Structures are given as C-alpha cells and as structure tokens.
Homo-oligomer: A and B are copies of this chain.
Amino acid sequence: MQAQEGSGRLNRRTVLGAALELVDEHGLDALSMRRLGQALGRDPMAVYRHAANRKELLAGVAELVLDEVEIFTDDAHWQIQLRRMAHEMRRVCLRHPNVVPLLVTGPLSTPLGLRPAGTLRPLEQILGILIRAGFAPGDALHVYRAFYGFLYGHILNELQELIVDPEENEALLQLGLQRLPLREFPHLRRLAPELLEYDGEHELDQGITILLAGLGQQLETTSEAYT
C-alpha cells in the first residue's frame, strides 16, 4: 500500500510490483492504469512506457508471480521432485489467490510458441525432470499434461472452497446447504461436516499419490523408466 512517491526512475519491475500489490490487496478489477499510476505517484500514462497495454500488464503480473515459484534442482527421485514442485506452486498460488485466474486462463488460446518465456519455464522444468529420469520425450509430455492439469485443477478447487473467514464458515455452510432442496441435493447436504474439514495440502498430496500410482501402472509395461 505504500505509495512510491515520484522519486527516482520507474522500471518495469517496480511497475509490476506495484500492480501485483494492488491485485493482492484489492482484486483484479482494482488494477486499472489510472489507479496504478496513482499508486506510483505518476501520470497514468507513465505506465505505458513499461507495458504496452492493460493485457500486457496483467501478463507481466502473472509472470512476476510465477517467478516466485522456487525451483529445486537436486537429484531427488523424479516423483519427489514433482511432488515438491506441486506444493511449492500451491503455496505461491495461495499467496496470490487473486492472480490465479490470470495464471490459468491468461494465455488462453495464445499459441504455445508465442507465450512469454516465464509461462513456459515450468513446462520446460518438468520435462527436464522426467527426461532425466528416463522418460521418452513424448511420454514426458503426456505426464506433464496429466500432472499440470491436475495441479491447476486442484488449486482452483481449493480456492473455490477456501473461505476467507473461517469463523463464519460453519454458519454459512449450514445455512447455504439448507437452502438447497433436499430432494435434489441429498448427498451434498449430508456432507457438511466433511466439507468443513477440507485440508488442501493433504488433498493435493493424496491426489498426486493417486496420479503417480496410476502413471506407474500405465507405464510399467511400456517403459523401463518408471521405478
């Protein structure tokens, strides 16, 4: 929230940083060129020297967040590396929930080849992990897709179930579920207690275990890489 008074020259990094701060604190809608200019203590038009337009600015914010994803490079088993990466990704997304829509739908229908490098880094990294583990490049791509798809799906699921104020959660949930017609939603209404105990980290970890187990079963006949 601290306004960067109009001192010193602006660079892309500080512009994107201020933009991210705005999004984190007030949501995506709050990120307008004008408000960003104000937060920077500059003329709104000053932003245009560091981002071609609003879309490009949003893409920049997404890249900034992706850069927060720490990359572990050691020789741990590939399954452990994937698992660690998933948890790291999840943590970063929970730190910036308002940016997640940008991450998952930002480059929608932008040809893969034209996407900014920052967006492609996770893909390259996972491919590396898998190929070094002995997967054929084509298989690595399939595994990447299954893994990454699941990861993004989980994060979206978790954010949808995430409640800002857990104090109110129980009341809201009960109230909300009761509103649903019992005839149409018998199962959902009975699951209130389980829904309250949602543990995203554990759920993700279990999901990855399931996915890896399934992968193993599928690959052990066609490849000797899987161990």
- A-to-B contact residues, CB < 8 Å: 97, 100-101, 104-105, 107-115, 117, 120-121, 123-124, 127-128, 131, 137-138, 140-142, 145-146, 148-154, 156-157, 159-164, 169, 172-177, 179-181, 184-188, 190-191, 194-195, 203, 206-207, 209-215, 217-218
Q: How many copies does the complex hold?
A: 2
Name the residue among A104, A138, A164 with the largest chain B CB count within 10 angstroms: A104
A162 to B107 Cα, complex, angstroms:
11
Q: Which residues of B contact A160 (CB under 8 A)?
A: 107-110, 112
- Contacts A151-B153, A195-B141; is A120 near B185 (CB within 8 Å)? yes
Among B97, B154, B194, contact of A141 (Cβ-Cβ < 8 Å):
B194
Q: Which residues of B contact A175 (CB under 8 A)?
A: 113
A127 to B210 Cα, complex, angstroms:
19
Structural contact, A104 and B214, CB atoms closer than 8 A: no
Structural contact, A124 and B188, CB atoms closer than 8 A: yes
Structural contact, B159 and A112, CB atoms closer than 8 A: no
Structural contact, A211 and B211, CB atoms closer than 8 A: yes
Name the residue among A112, A120, A121 with the largest chain B CB count within 10 angstroms: A112
Structural contact, B209 and A214, CB atoms closer than 8 A: yes
Structural contact, B203 and A142, CB atoms closer than 8 A: yes
Structural contact, B156 and A149, CB atoms closer than 8 A: yes
Question: Can you identify 29 A-B contacts, CB atoms within 8 angstroms?
Answer: A101-B101, A101-B105, A101-B108, A104-B105, A108-B156, A108-B159, A109-B162, A109-B163, A111-B163, A111-B169, A111-B173, A113-B173, A114-B172, A120-B185, A120-B188, A124-B184, A128-B186, A137-B187, A137-B191, A145-B203, A146-B207, A146-B210, A149-B156, A150-B211, A152-B152, A206-B218, A210-B214, A210-B215, A214-B217
